[in-house]
Structure 1
Amino acid sequence: MDPSGAKQFVLTWNNSVQYDTTGTWDGIIFSGIPEISEKHIYNVSVEGNSSGLYFTYTLVPNFNALARFVVTKFGQGQQFSFESTGWNMFWSVPRDACAVYGPCGPYGTCDSRNLALCSCEEGFKPSDNHAWVSQDWASSGCVRQSPLNCSTDRFIDLGVTLPDDGASSYPETTKKDCKETCLCNCSCTAFAFNPPSGPCQIWSGDLLNMRNSTPSKINSNVFIRVGASQLSMKRKTTSIVGVVLGIVGALTVALGICSFLLWQKHQQRSMDRRADSSDSFLRMSSYKELKIATRNFRSELGSGGSGSVFKGSLPDGSKRLLIYDYMPNGSLNSMLFTSNAKSKGKVLDWKTRFEIALGTARGLLYLHEECRGYIIHSDVKPENILLDGDLSPKLANFGLAKLMGRDLSRVLTTTRGTRGYLAPEWVSGLPITPKVDVYSFCMTLLEIISG
């Protein structure tokens, strides 16, 4: 609870460092977690006075569900509700996993844009390599590859940012003076000149909460102390690389013309493919990313005629992925509505349109009646129907899908599909059935016919 008396709750490390907050209570929601008051699920109330503050949340009447709150291995708090036959996470604090205090441990750098949340900067290595590679315990942090020597140490700019907390401000007016002040203090591990909160800041002890930053977001350079041997090794490596680059330079020029011509041809083909597709929701995943996410494909869920299925997770735990075969013809939307489709002779004939409609219907029939648990796709539309090389359709984008037990005839959910494809009962906030997919399919069918 916020000790200042404000109607909000704060997350702190060691009862001293605040790293996140729920935002203030306005009588309906916490400003930082609007999902906590999601209608149809919880009734929330906050009460208190100068001596105390508390809030309660209860399930709305007639909503038979369970709830649980967990803390992930990276320190995020996540709230789940059990709807039908599966747990559904609908809010987390903090939203950015890197906002947790010290998620990557001493000298570890956090970057929530990467699948592997934590990394070690140049001159450092994981203190527990096995735990680091598996991302099971990234908070073990990194250690220096070369020991420090107070009289010979140097500084390197790693392009990271550090929080203001834990730093001491000094009145030095030049970068050189700031550097000398840090160098003369054997406990100083990093310095920054001209940050927003002061002209010279100096950090002592192990560095926590380092974050990768794009050049446009670095407010000041942070220089980290390293051993002279590490810097000499870097310079030697740079020198060797320079010689090698000089030797291969001539070959690079000779091969450059041929490479450029091949690249230009490849780019043109790629541009043609992208022009035929409007699948902005798709994200390409590299083999390395999938290997990290599945922990080297350690947990196999099952296998069939199409291959094996492995369990994996992203660092923030808040998203589920389905990895598909590459669908070279993009989405049905690109075939129906993209102007390039007509100019490139890719207008669908009536037989193909019929087969696409029939194949999509078969997919919905499987989801609604044939799989082990009933599945409502919730977002049937041309953008979510992918076409393979033979123009056979596959339903994709199950981000809004709901899993129903076979003993249930309807389910209450706060998720929504796409405007224009929504069934009336969904707009009215009533419990939904597989009929909402039938409605969306019929709207899609009209578009398949009309183009």
Structure 2
Amino acid sequence: MHTEMRPRSSLSIFLLFFLFSSPNIQHCGAANSLSADQALSGNQTIVSKEGNFELGFFTPGNSRNYYIGIWYKTIPVQTVIWVANRATPISNTSSAELKISEDGRLVLLNSSKIPVWSSNSTPSTSNSTVAVLLDTGNLVMRDGSNTTIWQSFYHPTDTVMPGCCLGLNKITGEHQSITSWENSDNPAPGPFSASMDPDGSNQFVLVWNGSEIYWRTEFWNGQYYPRIPGTKSSTLIKFTFVNNKQRTCGMYTVLGSSFITRIMIDSSGLFRQWFWVKSTQEWQTLFTIPWFQCYDSQCGAFGICDQKSPNICRCSYGFEPGSMKEWELKVWRSGCVRKTSLRCGNKSSVGGEVEDRFLEMTNMRLPANPQYWTLGSAQDCEQFCLNNCSCNAYAYVSGCSIWTGDLRNLEQLHDADSGGGTLYLRLAASDFPASSSSHKLAISLTLSVIGGILGILCVLVGLIWAFRRRKRISMAKQVEGSLIQFTYGDLQHVTKNFSEKLGSGGFGSVFKGTLIDSTEVAVKKLEGLRQGEKQFRTEVRTLAGIQHVNVVRLRGFCSKGSKKLLVYEYMSGGSLDSHLFRNNSTVLGWKMRYQIILGIARGLAYLHEKCRECIIHCDVKPDNVLLDSDFCAKVADFGMAKLIGRDFSTVLTTMRGTIGYLAPEWISGRPITSKIDVYSFGMMLFELISGKRNTAQSADGSENFYPYLAATKGIAGDIFSLLDHGLNGAADTEEVTRVCRVACWCIQESEAHRPTMGQVVQILEGVLEVSVPPLPRALQRLMQDQSRSCDHLSSSECKDPLDQSLDFYQQVSSHKGHMNLC
């Protein structure tokens, strides 16, 4: 039988074209609002009426994550004043959406259409709900009666804008506060916050770690806050305190229309007011609180706050930053850690010297919470601390004080009259700075000899490196694009000598690795590959040009003799089969499954029809479909058949479960085309519908072949009996019907009757209609063979569900006949 594809009516196509090309949906950047029938995605933005502020997706600093935020439109330095999904970033924006939901909430959906942030506004069923970006930087949601139901000024992140009131909402009981970013690359909530004092007093406090107050204002005196500079009198800014039935809060307004200012708490815990200097095109501080730069816990454990240090915080001798990455971002709360562990009273093997010693640190602000001991002298205090393994420092000022555990709030004072003391910090002897001249001379000579040897080694290493680099460059020229050529040693290092195995199959084993830039990858060691070096590079060059959102990206390769390896992007979501068949606690919802089905179809259509040469996958099954963190489906192992060559069928047929997906023409030895992938795709659709393998063993030990039942019941219209029981019937009837029919068309015995993957995509997208397919003849023959094998039995013994399904299908087909696809 021949099948054909026919588009819907011209009017339908015109309406679809008009809908998707509508400027109200695609070009939100020209408006200052987002209505219920619009969605914001990709690089689309909305801009406030006067062009002061802009809302859209942005990426902070060196991050690879995306966030919805509001920033100044008129300032060339991107300055973000509000972030929606600061704790739940998304990995791409191409199919993510910011929209107004049916219940009137503003929601952000990731590429899998899963909500990751919501405004939690008052529910509204009016389709007139609209989100408007004002020229104050406030994002306001209004219902059909123009009543404000939510605004970003009531939910600030790290910035207080003019007109934003920080304090207590007496109606809802919410405390409006601001919280620092984790660091300049990550807007996730950090440990510092500014809010009205939780005890109910009319003053503001700065809080570390949710509970520890490290600075507070004095009480509002009716006109200003005495401890906040600029609140008493200013020609540009006016601070006010609001206390009425609705709110108790503090706010400020700008008196000059051209004056641009903001107040924020940064990732180092400083509360600053910034203003924009147009002449120099930069932000400058109007005030900083605390005005003293050293405050409680700023530098973390064992960190020393030094106001004359370029970075404010530093580590003592024998210590190093706990997180160098955070310190480079000027976030010091990770503190310092010892370079060498304490020996705690153990004797060294040379001269009986005690391994632990004390570093004298003069003019220090001593840490809080010391333990006091009555001892006669400083020597006794030192020995007492040395004998106590938990003692990290001591001081002797009219008595002995010792400190156990982590030392915090260490500060280097520079004024002799500041009241500082001498602190003795415990170090391992190997970290102790040398003091005697003879010792220094010995160290200098030793370092000179070592330096000379290292210099010679560096020259030799440089020559070897230059030689290898030249060789790598000459080899890399054979590979086009951005594909990376790795050495086998590189991949051994990246995968920690292939220690973390992700899985294995007929083509080889896959291992997890991490590149030097912290990018996670999956490294596949190919097995049974007989290709030569030149042929392998030619095939890899072809695979390097394959770039599609639904195809796993090839990042690099390695070819060393018989060792052939491919480096792919790492998919954190794992394989599709792990979510369908391995008793995963989370059941994939039908909407998610439909998006996965559509993604797989698009990936295969790209390989078949959009590449320079048609690439047949030859092994389509759930094991070879991988999911990213947003559950976007990507076809994997797409180049395996191409790399293995004409003898790949030997490998494929030895793979567990693969035989259940092979098309009839392949099994019979006839020439194969891209339609074998269509057949395998159809078989896989049955598994996505049912949530179980096509071939499963029943309780009595017999094997049940699910496609038999699915084909007959799907054609007859009994759709929901086929669904995965874990879905509890929660699925779209039209979509399930469409998928069932597509599956039946895909597994037709004659490849001429199967649709192309491009047609499958159009059907799933709703562009083409699909009719009731005929029952595949292979299934008919199998059922008839089973029926004949029961001829010697009684009817009661032979009647089984498959026979019943066949009878049912014959009854239906006598009425419907064989209908075309379109």
Q: TM-score, normalised by structure 2?
A: 0.26
Q: TM-score, normalised by structure 1?
A: 0.44
Name the larger-Rg structure: 2
